[in-house]
A and B are shown apart, each in its own frame.
Chain A
Amino acid sequence: EPEVTQTPSHQVTQMGQEVILRCVPISNHLYFYWYRQILGQKVEFLVSFYNNEISEKSEIFDDQFSVERPDGSNFTLKIRSTKLEDSAMYFCASSGWVVEGYTGELFFGEGSRLTVL
């Protein structure tokens, strides 16, 4: 069964350091997402990406965040200067289709747990 893969599974970093989280979406999917989940809280939307550009971003996704699809298979989330409050589980997800607001099932990766000290 096709799956979304994420690396690393866990990263510990010092405040102010840059972090890159990597994802390989399902190969024939076209819509890509990053979500985050702070411990004990709900899954929150960060950004959606389609046709090599950001299609939507949330208020959380400020100038410290960026996404890239560098080579047609990887989808990365970069946090330029991490803050303590960036500590969370970051989930990548992909979907095969979106039509006028209707979306196919989102498939989630196993997540990357980021701990900022």
Chain B
Amino acid sequence: GQNIDQPTEMTATEGAIVQINCTYQTSGFNGLFWYQQHAGEAPTFLSYNVVDGLEEKGRFSSFLSRSKGYSYLLLKELQMKDSASYLCAVPSNTGKLIFGQGTTLQVKP
């Protein structure tokens, strides 16, 4: 089965950089997704990593280490609108996404 761990909450300051970690255990590995979810809204796709290394996409980057079962999402130049939950998710061997608990990020002025 799959098991995903993320910190429950984080706080950061506007303009700063924050790293949100995710560790996972899976019976097989088919990539790792990060989604953003604002309160009361749907999850929206941020990134997908399937090979080791850092993928950069604007202010957001995602890193994967398959050997360590570890990923992180890096948010640069934080803005108030980045206050949201960040969900780490891995596909099962049947393709369905299994989500972690999510990390609620609060950005303060």
A binds B: yes
Task: Give the B-binding residues of A (Cβ under 8 A).
Answer: 31, 33, 41-45, 48, 55-56, 89, 91, 95, 98, 100-103, 105-111
CB contacts (< 8 Å) of A91 on chain B: these are 42-43
Residue pair A31, B33 in contact (C-beta under 8 Å) = no
Q: Give the Cβ gap from A11 to chain B, nearest Cβ, in Å.
A: 15
Minimum C-beta distance from B74 to chain A (A): 20
> Which residues of B lie under 8 Å from residue A41 when comparing CB positions?
101
User: Once A and B bind, how many residue pairs between them come within 8 Å at the CB atom?
Assistant: 64
- Interface pair B30/A103, CB less than 8 Å apart: yes
Q: Which residues of A contact B93 (CB under 8 A)?
A: 101
Q: Is B48 an interface residue (CB 8 A)?
A: yes
- The answer to whether the Cβ of B106 comes within 8 Å of any Cβ in the partner chain is no
Partner of A102, one of B40, B50, B98: B50
Main secondary structure of the interface of A (DSSP, over half): strand
A111 contacts across to B, CB distance below 8 A: 41-42
Contact between A45 and B42, CB atoms less than 8 A apart:
no
Q: A101-B28, A101-B30, A110-B42 are in contact. Are A45 and B98 (CB under 8 A)?
A: yes
Q: Which of A42, A103, A110 contacts B95 (CB 8 A)?
A: A103
Residues in B with CB closer than 8 Å to A31 are: 95
8 A–B contacts, CB within 8 A, in A order = A31-B95, A42-B87, A43-B43, A48-B95, A100-B30, A103-B97, A105-B45, A110-B41
- Please pick, from A45, A107, A108, A110, the residue contacting B96 in the complex, using a CB distance under 8 A: A45
Q: Mark B29-50, 1 if CB is under 8 A from A, else 0.
A: 0110100010011111100101
Contacts known (A95-B95, A101-B93); A109 close to B42, Cβ less than 8 A: yes
Chain A residue contacts of B33, Cβ below 8 A: 105-106
- Kindly state the separation between the CA atoms of A51 and B81 in the bound complex, as whole angstroms: 39
Candidates A42, A45, A101; contact of B102 at CB < 8 Å: A42
- What's the Cα separation between A103 and B99 when bound, in Å? 14
With beta carbons under 8 angstroms apart, the residue of A101, A105, A107, A108 that contacts B92 is A101
- Which chain A residue lies CB-closest to B45? A105
